Chains A and B, each alone.
Chain A
Amino acid sequence: MDRIIGRFHQCVAEENGTELAKIFSTKAPASSPNFFYDLRRASNAQHIDGEIHYSLTPRNGFSFDSAEVNAWAEVFVNYWKAVGEFIGLEESTDRGELKDGQYGEVYDVWKAFTNSLIKYHSSSVLPFWTIPCLYTALTDLRTYAIKADEQSVNAKGSINFSTGLQDDIVSSVGKNEKLEDYARVLNRVFNMCLQDRAPVEYSRKWGTYFTANLMFKTYFKLNAVSLSKNMVQAINAQFDMPSLYRFPRSEIVTFKYYIGVMTFLREDYVQAEQNLTEAWQLCHKSAYKNHQQILTYLIPCRLITTHKLPTSELLSPYPRLQALFGPIAACIRKGDLAGFDAALFAGEVEFVKRRIYLTLERGRDIALRNLLRKVFLAGGYEPLKEGQTEADLIRRTRIPIAEFAAAIRMGLGADGKLLEDDEVECMLANMIYKNLMKGYISRERAMVVLSKTAGMAFPGTGV
């Protein structure tokens, strides 16, 4: 106990929030694995409160007023209680015999600890610089909430198995009971940070993005992405909020990533591209998995906004992305429609899981555009008239529909045989409508008349 109070005193003297947060850890330090046992043995449930009060007096070098002593005493007592559960959890885990609902109990005691921090931050008894304690408390609380829900789903699952169908309804309600409860805790902290009116240098507003990121994570996990929108609007409505770029990079990148995915799911691909690109550029170079996550959405996004594909240099460090996007990208490039459909079908489960299926599906237009473009290139040039030179060469811009039809039928492989001429015309009209091809269809001549202006027949592709 003296040791922890000693460390606490030093952190308070230095106003070092990061070090202070390490004191209230859910794991015993690696250097002293028995730390939790020692801490528990140093006191008991009856005396702990009095002992802590006694320790935090000027006798030990503290200059707290009585409100501060009470606040810290409550925090310490709640931590001491939680440590008891950590020991229990560790022992059960080691024996491989977790009790039913054990993670739920750990969640509850850690929530009590977290709530004591929130309470005294809300009333500004705890100084703003101690907010990192709240960060670690909330981060760990989330892990316990998820584990508790997993544990109760597993427990209910086994009951279901024996009692039959009628339990289905019961088990789907409250499947995320603790995580939903956690979201409410988080919401309190978010509003507390956001609405802090203290001068900016002492403001809890600096906790806003850390909390916002935890909320994003939690809402995504709960499949309630739409709730993130309100949170983002609440931040934007704060006129005196410091700029995002004044926050640590870890918070900027995480926030940009989630905004990117959120706008991606709303099909606002321009916004999504901007945010994801920024997240990509600012991301730490060794955060391999996060780079991979960013690209999972940036690649389909770019396909829609600028019709660009990742190079093999970009994909090669990420075998998973290579497997996910490699085949489909190759087919788009080639204009291989049958191959595209097969690749989309083969990856369907994974694409749907990541919610990128519908976006990738729209890449079929790009594959078709590339196929038609090849037909155009194969058409060559109009013969030169007298007096014209090489510089006057223009491409043949009247293409028989039959040529496009042949190419599309070939591109579709086996399915192509069933394709009617009307359907071909419809596809061509669609291409023109979407501005992927510029020109008009002349039905009486059975031709597509493409734009003669250089580089305008297939806008953005150089021809």
Chain B
Amino acid sequence: MAASGPGAASTTKAGASDAKDGDTKDVQKPIAALEEDDEFEDFPVQDWTEEDTQLPGGNTHLWEESWDDDDTNDEFSVQLKEELKRVGKK
């Protein structure tokens, strides 16, 4: 119902193509690919069931602790360890 507005059809289309292009364009050049309008869109349906709120991936493991850095062998961590060893010896 809400989608019957004159601009609704074009915004939905823009949103969908934006999603598809995103993979290739956004990663390389985020600033250029971003849309001007960051508006919350009208939903094409008014109401839905509990089932319709479930994302395909489920809601598991979407957030993690900021300090939980598993990768302790990257360049930065290795450098840090060496730096600390050097200070310790002094």
Contact of A258 among B5, B30, B40, B59 (CB under 8 A): B40
Report yes or no: A370 in contact with B67, Cβ–Cβ below 8 A.
Answer: yes
Least CB separation from B51: chain A residue:
A285
User: In the bound complex, what is the Cα–Cα distance between A310 and B57 (angstroms)?
Assistant: 14
Contact of B45 among A132, A143, A250, A281 (CB under 8 A): A250
List, in ascending order, chain A residues with CB within 8 A of B45's CB.
250, 284
User: In the bound complex, what is the Cα–Cα distance between A406 and B39 (angstroms)?
Assistant: 45
Taking the closest CB of chain A, its distance from the CB of B62, in whole angstroms, is 4
Report yes or no: B62 in contact with A217, Cβ–Cβ below 8 A.
Answer: no
Given A319-B23, A366-B66, the answer on whether A406 and B86 have CB atoms closer than 8 Å is yes
User: In the bound complex, what is the Cα–Cα distance between A303 and B22 (angstroms)?
Assistant: 25
A interface footprint on B19-34 (CB within 8 Å = 1, 0 otherwise): 1001100110011011
List, in ascending order, chain A residues with CB within 8 A of B80's CB.
335, 371, 374-375, 378, 407, 410-411
List, in ascending order, chain A residues with CB within 8 A of B26's CB.
319-320, 322-323
Given A140-B4, A370-B66, the answer on whether A313 and B40 have CB atoms closer than 8 Å is no
Taking the closest CB of chain B, its distance from the CB of A92, in whole angstroms, is 14
Report yes or no: B83 in contact with A310, Cβ–Cβ below 8 A.
Answer: no
List, in ascending order, chain A residues with CB within 8 A of B31's CB.
349-350
List, in ascending order, chain A residues with CB within 8 A of B23's CB.
319
Contact of A281 among B34, B53, B63, B90 (CB under 8 A): B53
Contact of B88 among A288, A324, A403 (CB under 8 A): A403
Contact of B2 among A135, A293, A311, A339 (CB under 8 A): A135
List, in ascending order, chain B residues with CB within 8 A of A310's CB.
62-64
Least CB separation from A141: chain B residue:
B5
Answer whether residue A309 sits at the interface, using C-beta atoms and an 8 A cutoff. Answer: yes
User: In the bound complex, what is the Cα–Cα distance between A332 and B23 (angstroms)?
Assistant: 24
B interface footprint on A258-302 (CB within 8 Å = 1, 0 otherwise): 100000000000000000000001111101111101001000001
| A–B pairs, 5, beta carbons within 8 Å | A140-B5, A284-B45, A333-B67, A339-B76, A407-B80
Listed in ascending order, the chain B residues whose CB lies under 8 Å from chain A are 1-2, 4-8, 15-16, 18-19, 22-23, 26-27, 30-31, 33-34, 38-43, 45-48, 52-57, 59, 61-69, 74, 76-77, 79-81, 83-84, 86-88, 90
Known: A282-B53, A319-B23, A322-B26. 4 other contacts (CB 8 A): A139-B4, A288-B19, A333-B66, A336-B76
Closest 8 CB pairs of A and B: A323-B30, A319-B22, A248-B47, A250-B43, A314-B62, A143-B7, A319-B26, A406-B87
